[in-house]
Each structure stands twice: as C-alpha cells, then as structure tokens.
C-alpha cells in the first residue's frame, strides 16, 4: 500500500515536471507533446523546434519526429510542422512576453528556464561594431532538458578524494560533447559539498563559476539543481574573473568550473593554486593526445597541475568512466571501463 503511494507520488512529481516544461511551449506544440507516451518522454533529451520544419525530439537512443497526434515517427513527412506563430508564442512564454529582459541571453544565444533547462537559440544576429548585439527573428530553438542524476558520481568519487587530508585532488574531467561531463561535475560538487559519510569525508566549501548556467541551471541567480549546502555559485560569470572573485571573497576550498580552454583561464588556474584552492573542471576532448593539441590546455597539462584526469566515453553507454590518469606519474588508475 505504502509502496503504491510512493510510486503514485513519484509519478505525480514527474507529471508536474513535464507540465512545467510543456507550459513554456506554444499551445499547439504543448498539446501534441502532451500526448507523447510517458516512457518515451522519460528518454527525451532535447525538444527541437525549427520554423517551417518538422517537430523533433532527441531521445537517448537517437532522434525522431512527432506527428500531429503525438505519436513518434521516423518520417519527416508525417510530422507536425512548426509554424512561425509557434516560435513566436514559445519565445513569448519563455521570456514572459519581455524580449528586452533577455538581451544578454539573446546575445549569448541561450537562456535558462526554471528547472535548469537550457534553451539554445538561433536566428538572425544583429551586429554592433562587429560583435553580436542580439538575435532577432528566432527560428530555431533547442530545449535541452536538464536531468539531475544523484549518485552518478559514485564510481568516480573514490579516485578524486584524498582521504588522508580530507580534500580532493586537482581534477580534470574530459569527454566528447554530450558525454555527461556536466552531469558528472554537478554530482561531484553536490557530494563533496554535502560530505560523504560512508567514506568518512566531511563536506568542503565549493565555489562554482558557472559561466554558461549549465552546472547549477540558475534562474534569477537561484540554482535549480542541488549543488550541496556548502556551495556558492557565481552565475553567468566569465571563468577567469569569477575564479578571482571567489578566491578574494568566499574562501573556497574547491573551485569548480566548466570547460577550461581560453587564454585567461590559465592565469586564473595558477592564481587558484596559489590561493590553496583545489580545482575541479572539465574540458572537451577524447584523449590525452587531443588535449595536448590545444594550446592553453597543453600548457596547463605540461605544468602537471592536475593530479587526476578522468576520461568519459560511450563504450558502456553515456557517462562510462573510460580511464583515470594520475597526473603526477601519468599512470592509469583504472584497469577497465566502469559504468
């Protein structure tokens, strides 16, 4: 009985979450996607609207189109065609009818919704002195559903923490795009911020510089994801500047950022090291060799700053831990891929 109630409660929460996502879409699309069956919805990673083109869903097992009755179909010809009005209404809903409140977001090409879902935008850019000032005539929209996966870092955590000093190693998470870097980073942050009683690890102060609002999925500065009780988050802040700001004022024990790789990042990394903070960051890449080809990263790698480098891949499914390398000795700590 109580188990049944638990299941009901859980499905209630899911329906609610789904309703909240659908409420940001124009009514015709909302109605169609409302008909999509629950187990397909479970696997939805992206909802893609392109003006005058078929409505598309990206599932964990590939993409598909949606027909006007909400059934999924592999054929683009049977699919519902997204109209200009759908795009306009959707954008109005996402911006609460106030495009001007999203100028910064339109300049960067994405916005974050309540719940931490990211919306990528394409359209016509308006330039000012050669730089993008904003987007207008938005004709393409990619709603990436944010899913928290508490516990996804359980496999990786033992390689990252230094139990003798109750701290973590300077760590770099590497994966190809959509390989689960950010999801893993988020759960690592959550766990080290909470502390891990089973490993006798007590929580650390974590400062997060969330340049693209992906880690915390902040909406109006409030993280929509659980990042733990000892976490301070700077939302939408350039990495290098944000790292300095945190060091100066928030005394973080760990500084976490996403996607290292720009020129000024190297300097900020050094600064963080001098301040005694541990680094936890990610990079796009496939292997150590591919990282070394990138100028800034190769510089950071040559300095042997990172004590642990984790490679993610797809060999056993999304988020497979392919290799863990000890940065000091360059030796592998993992005998075979883990998931």
Partner 1 sequence: MKFTGALLVIVACGLLGNDVARGYAQRPRLLRSFQTALQFLETEINYGATPLPEAFGKVAAIAEPQLAPFFLQVREKLLAPQALSFQEAWEWGLKDLGRYTVLGPRELDLLLSLGGILGGSDRKDQVKHLLLTLQQLKEAEAREREKSGPNERMWRYLGFLLGIMLILTFY
- List residues near partner 1 by CB under 8 A: 23, 26-27, 30, 88-89, 92-93, 95-101, 103, 106, 133-134, 136
Q: In 129-170, at which residue ranges do the beta strands (DSSP E only) sit?
A: 131-144, 161-162, 167-168
Q: Give whichever of 96 and 198 is closer to partner 1, judged by the CB atom.
A: 96
Q: CB of residue 134 vs partner 1: minimum separation in angstroms? A: 6
HSE-up of 35 (CA within 13 Å, CB side)?
Answer: 13
Q: CB of residue 94 vs partner 1: minimum separation in angstroms? A: 11
Rounded Cα distance, 258 and 207, in Å: 12
Query: In angstroms, what CA-CA distances link 309 with 24, 173, 260, 269, 283?
Result: 39, 6, 13, 16, 10
| Four-point Cα dihedral 299, 302, 305, 309, nearest 10 | 100
Q: CB of residue 20 vs partner 1: minimum separation in angstroms? A: 10
Q: CB of residue 24 vs partner 1: minimum separation in angstroms? A: 10
Q: Give whichever of 75 and 92 is closer to partner 1, judged by the CB atom.
A: 92
Q: Give whichever of 26 and 243 is closer to partner 1, judged by the CB atom.
A: 26
- Could you give phi then psi for residue 261, rounded to 5 degrees? 155, -10
Q: CB of residue 97 vs partner 1: minimum separation in angstroms? A: 4
Q: Give whichever of 77 and 100 is closer to partner 1, judged by the CB atom.
A: 100
Q: Give whichever of 30 and 190 is closer to partner 1, judged by the CB atom.
A: 30
| Four-point Cα dihedral 181, 229, 338, 280, nearest 10 | 50
**Strand order, beta sheet including 131-144:** 72-73, 62-66, 56-59, 44-50, 131-144, 118-128, 110-112
Q: CB of residue 96 vs partner 1: minimum separation in angstroms? A: 4
Q: Give whichever of 74 and 84 is closer to partner 1, judged by the CB atom.
A: 84
Q: Give whichever of 40 and 93 is closer to partner 1, judged by the CB atom.
A: 93
The two counts, helices (H) then strands (E), for the chain are 11, 18
Residues β-bridged to residue 140: 50, 122
């Amino acid at each position: 009985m109580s188990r049944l109630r638990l299941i009901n409660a859980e499905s209630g929460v899911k329906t609610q979450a789904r309703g909240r996502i659908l409420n940001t879409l124009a009514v015709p699309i909302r109605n169609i996607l409302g008909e999509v069956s629950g187990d397909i919805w479970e696997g939805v990673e992206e909802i893609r609207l392109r003006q005058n083109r078929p409505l598309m869903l990206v599932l964990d097992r590939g993409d598909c189109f949606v027909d006007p009755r909400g059934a999924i179909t592999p054929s683009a010809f049977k699919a519902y065609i997204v109209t200009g009005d759908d795009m306009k209404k959707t954008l109005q809903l996402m911006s609460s009818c106030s495009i001007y409140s999203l100028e910064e977001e339109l300049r960067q090409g994405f916005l974050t919704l309540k719940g931490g879902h990211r919306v990528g935008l394409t359209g016509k850019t308006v330039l000012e002195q050669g730089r993008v000032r904003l987007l207008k005539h938005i004709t393409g929209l990619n709603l990436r559903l944010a899913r928290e996966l508490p516990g996804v870092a359980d496999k990786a955590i033992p390689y990252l923490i230094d139990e003798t000093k109750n701290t973590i190693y300077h760590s770099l998470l590497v994966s190809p795009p959509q390989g689960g870097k950010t999801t893993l980073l988020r759960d690592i942050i959550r766990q080290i911020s909470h502390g891990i009683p089973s490993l006798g690890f007590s929580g650390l102060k974590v400062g997060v510089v969330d340049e693209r609002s992906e880690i915390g999925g902040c909406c109006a500065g409030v993280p929509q994801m659980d990042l733990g009780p000892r976490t301070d988050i700077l939302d939408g802040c350039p990495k290098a500047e944000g790292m300095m700001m945190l060091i100066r004022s928030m005394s973080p024990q760990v500084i976490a950022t996403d996607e290292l790789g720009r020129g000024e990042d190297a300097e900020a990394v050094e600064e963080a090291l001098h301040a005694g903070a541990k680094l936890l960051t990610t990079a796009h890449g496939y292997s150590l060799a591919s990282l070394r080809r990138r100028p800034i990263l190769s510089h950071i790698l040559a300095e042997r700053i990172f004590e642990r480098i984790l490679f993610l891949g797809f060999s056993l499914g999304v988020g497979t831990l392919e290799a863990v390398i000890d940065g000091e000795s360059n030796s592998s700590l993992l005998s075979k891929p883990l998931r």
